[in-house]
């Protein structure tokens, strides 16, 4: 098994009102320096938190921008 086979993906998703806010937070947290890169398209999402049979709309059901970043770490 190679070193690359022993790695796994680690993800961070930033939720913000705008794409500019999400990217500013990415830079402010230094995620680029920690090896994170954008994992896919940035887009508007609605979020629901589910626990058992309960479900709760987050952010009062308003759409928020979600930007997901990933990096490889030892796994």
Condensed to tens digits (0 to 9), the pLDDT of residues 33-61 reads: 999 999 999 999 999 999 989 999 999 88
How many C-beta atoms lie closer than 10 Å to residue 3's C-beta?
Answer: 8
What's the DSSP call for residue 24? Answer: H
In a domain, 2, yes or no: no
The residues, ordered by sequence, that sit 6+ positions from 49 with a Cβ below 8 Å of its Cβ are 55, 56, 58
pLDDT value at residue 4: 63
In a domain, 1, yes or no: no
Tell me how far apart the alpha carbons of residues 46 and 34 are, in angstroms, rounded to a whole number.
Answer: 28
- The number of distinct structural domains making up the chain is 1
Structural contact between residues 25 and 16, judged by C-beta atoms closer than 8 angstroms: yes
Q: What is the pTM of this model?
A: 0.83
Question: Residue 37's beta-bridge partner residues?
Answer: 70
In a domain, 3, yes or no: no
């Amino acid at each position: 098994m190679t070193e690359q086979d022993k790695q796994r993906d680690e993800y961070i998703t930033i939720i913000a009102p705008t794409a500019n806010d999400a990217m500013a937070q990415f830079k402010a947290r230094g995620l680029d320096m920690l090896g994170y890169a954008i994992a896919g398209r940035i887009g508007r999402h609605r979020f629901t938190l589910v626990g058992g049979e309960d479900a709760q709309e987050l952010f009062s059901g308003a759409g928020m921008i979600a930007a997901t970043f990933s990096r490889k770490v030892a796994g």
